[in-house]
Amino acid sequence: METDIKQLRHKKLRTWIEESAALCKPDKIYVCDGSKEEYDRLMQLMVKNGMAIPLKKKANSFLFRSDPSDVARVEDRTYISTTNQADAGPTNNWVTPEELKKTMRGLYEGCMKGRTMYVIPFSMGPIGSPIAKIGIQLTDSPYVVCNMDIMTRVGTKVLDQLGEHGEFIPCLHSIGAPLAEGQQDIPWPCAPIEKKYISHFPEENLIWSYGSGYGGNALLGKKCLALRIASAMAQREGWMAEHMLILRLINPKGKQYHIAAAFPSACGKTNLAMLQPTVPGWKAECIGDDISWMKVGTDGRLYAINPESGFFGVAPGTSYATNPMAMETLKENSIFTNCALTDDGDVWWEGMTPEPPIHAIDWKWRDWTPGSKETVAHANARFTAPAKQCPVISPDWEKPEGVPIDVFIFGGRRPSVVPLVYQAYNWDHGVFLGATAASETTAANIGAVGDLRRDPFAMKPFCGYNMGDYFSHWFAMGDKLGDKAPKLFYVNWFRKSGDGSWLWPGYGENSRVLKWICQRIEGEVSARETPIGYVPNEGDLDLAGMNIPTENVKQLLHVDKDAWKTEADGIAKYFTEFGDHFPKRLSIQLEEMKKRLAG
């Protein structure tokens, strides 16, 4: 049943919907109730118009193919719009709110003609959680509605929680493809790249997106709300919104440890979130694979929730060898975008199985056979799947108060210099580790091979305010937490030997590093002091049952002072980017590391 917006009890919400409809001019307005019947009805609508392909091999699962111009987040079309440019900082694209809104209002004028405006009431976090926030997204894309239904808690219960005067974050989205009367729709309507805008107004907690129907550009609960707007809210309100997985580790005695970890892209975040430990007696549970919202509890500790209710993961490279729990999660009730369609009615992507299919239809609707020049799936092909389907999802993943965080881990992809694992000396030193996180580019990345790309706290594309102020917020949170603050560590699964081979097998074996981290918290295992932090002694890591050469272990734990002196010079140059918003406490940490390296 359609809900008349006049029945909405929240006057401010009702007014905003009416104003947006007057601007965008949809044919109809539909308020989503979040029911299974609604989801199924919209999916069948998209099957009928050629947008969705039902998969014979996966129950209630569908394949979509986007326009080739609409395949990823568009960072150069993403804006943080604040009154003063300094508040957006050097890592964000900035336009004044007046100018940006004028441009976008022009684009929004009549943009939903011939379409339905869907009103999506959604909760980031369990409904009613003290850490959760409510958003309302207006969109003309049924694809977005179905994805948001998996990724967030959608529907009538959210409106009930909102009540008559509750706070919500307004999120306006249009694919930017109005239909004239009688005009035939296409499978993936969107605007050309130069008309795409993903805009954030953190001073108003407002999100406007236009022109893209893909991923984080269109699912506005994802990076837009959960990180860019939430990070600015968190700074103002004294909590944390981080680009972090949340993992529970359980030792053989049943003691639980909760780990939040931040890695730049292509560093195995989802794989770690769904870890299957190889260490006997240790167990792991997934709480979240991408985002962590954290507030200080009544006991003074930091408590985290996963604000999402689904996984929006990169498909290529995901397999039973790399992430069996993800593969099990995708067996039903999932949405696939820009993957290949096999002849037997399943999806496929590079790396999914040892042998490719003998024939498939690729993500551009073309015949494909092994040996073709182009990949069968897009490099950023995605799956959307309910978190509750993950076999290792924690029974406490929707606990309203969250779970207490014991450990923060930062990391990056570094073939040299950075050891397998090391521990920060204290909170300020740990903030320094997060602020200097980096990955080296590979042949697959744009730029020279071996170049360092700094991605502080894995938040460079997602911090909704000045990154220098963000660093200061980390220091402020440490001051607030005091001796109850989580311990901080840095890991690097990607170190290579001189001949280019991996020194560490990764995947489930990473549990051995996590075991050492948990034992460090308990004071059960030793480490040696180095200029960069506490590094395990060769006998400290539990390597029982592993066939790893002693020489590899030596290389993995080696700290080369000369290499780190060069690293320090690079960090010093990098820090100059942040100008007068840069906290002195980070400069002090750099100077202290230089002194240790000189000693």
- Answer whether residue 125 shows pLDDT above 70: yes
Q: What pLDDT is recorded for position 442?
A: 53
* 8 Å CB contact between 116 and 140: yes
Output the pTM of the full model: 0.97
Tokens of 551: 């020489």
Query: What 3-state DSSP class applies to 287?
Result: strand
Q: What pLDDT is recorded for position 445?
A: 42
pLDDT in tens, 516-562: 999 999 999 999 999 999 999 989 999 999 999 999 999 999 999 99
Q: What pLDDT is recorded for position 449?
A: 53
Q: What is the mean pLDDT of residues 327-332?
A: 98
Pairwise CA distance, residues 357 & 339, whole Å? 13
Q: Looking up tokens 């103002």, which residue turns up?
A: 236
Alpha helices, H only, 242-363: 269-273, 324-329
Local confidence band at 444 (pLDDT 50, 70, 90 cut-offs) = very low
Q: What pLDDT is recorded for position 265?
A: 81
Q: Would you tell me how many other CB atoms lie within 10 Å of the CB of residue 303?
A: 21
Question: What residues act catalytically?
Answer: 267
pLDDT in tens, 454-492: 999 999 999 999 999 999 999 999 999 999 999 999 999
Q: Which helix (H) or strand (E) holds 207?
A: strand 206-210
3-state secondary structure 388-445: HHCCCECCCCCCCCCEECCEEEEECCCCCCCCCEEECCCHHHHHHHHHCCEEECCCCC
Tokens of 92: 């964000």
Cα of 410 vs its chain's centroid, Å = 14
Q: Would you tell me how many other CB atoms lie within 10 Å of the CB of residue 467?
A: 22
Q: Looking up tokens 């990949």, which residue turns up?
A: 375
Q: What pLDDT is recorded for position 451?
A: 81
- Answer whether residue 3 shows pLDDT above 70: no
Local confidence band at 234 (pLDDT 50, 70, 90 cut-offs) = very high
Local confidence band at 300 (pLDDT 50, 70, 90 cut-offs) = very high
Q: What pLDDT is recorded for position 6?
A: 86
Pairwise CA distance, residues 340 & 343, whole Å? 10
- Answer whether residue 450 shows pLDDT above 70: no
Alpha helices, H only, 109-247: 142-151, 156-162, 215-218, 230-237
Q: What is the mean pLDDT of residues 173-188?
A: 97
Q: What is the mean pLDDT of the chain?
A: 96
pLDDT in tens, 244-286: 999 999 999 999 999 999 998 878 899 999 999 999 999 999 9
* Domains, the chain: 5-31+67-237 (3.40.449.10), 242-309+398-598 (3.90.228.20), 310-389 (2.170.8.10)
Residues 458/462/468/473 CA torsion (nearest 10 deg): -80
